[in-house]
Amino acid sequence: MFLSVIVPCFNEEEVLPETHRRLGAVLDSLGEDYELLYVNDGSRDRTLAMLRDLAQRDRRVRVINLSRNFGHQIAVSAGLDHAQGRVTVIIDADLQDPPAVIPEMIDKWREGYDVVYGQRRSRPGESAFKLGSARLFYRFLNLLSDRPIPLDAGDFRLLDRAVVDAMRGMREYDRFLRGMVSWVGFRQYALPYDRDARFAGESKYPLMKMLRLAADGILSFSVTPLRAAIVLGLVSAALAFLGIVYAIVLRLTTSTWVSGWTLLFVAILFMGGVQLVTAGIIGEYVGRIYREVKGRPLYLLAADDRDRGPERARPPVSR
Binding region for Mg ion (CB under 5 A): 94, 96
Write down the least CB distance from residue 212 to Mg ion, Å: 16
145 binds ligand UDP (CB under 6 A): no
Helices (H) and strands (E) in the chain, counts: 10, 7
By the rule CB under 6 A, 9 interacts with ligand UDP: yes
- Separation CA 230–CA 85 (nearest Å): 46
Q: Which does 41 bind (CB under 5 to 8 A by kind): Mg ion, ligand UDP, none?
A: ligand UDP
Rounded Cα gap, residues 134 and 214, in angstroms = 9
In angstroms, rounded to a whole number, what is the distance separating the alpha carbons of residues 39 and 75?
6
- Cβ 94 to ligand UDP, closest distance in Å? 4
Q: Does 204 bind ligand UDP (CB under 6 A)?
A: yes
How far apart (Å, rounded) are the C-alpha atoms in residues 23 and 6? Answer: 11
Quick check: 93 binds ligand UDP (CB under 6 A)?
yes
Is residue 119 within 8 Å of 152, Cβ to Cβ?
yes
What is the H or E stretch that residue 213 is in?
helix 207-219
Contact letters for ligand UDP, residues 160-199 (x by CB under 6 A): ----------------------------------------
Residues 199, 13: Cα–Cα separation, whole Å: 12
Min CB(93)–Mg ion separation in Å: 8
- Read off φ and ψ for residue 257, nearest 5 degrees: -145, 175
Measured from the CB of residue 209, what is the shortest distance to ligand UDP in angstroms? 7
- Site for ligand UDP contains 62 (CB under 6 A): no
Binding residues vs ligand UDP (CB under 6 A): 8-10, 12, 41, 69, 71-72, 75, 92-94, 96, 203-205
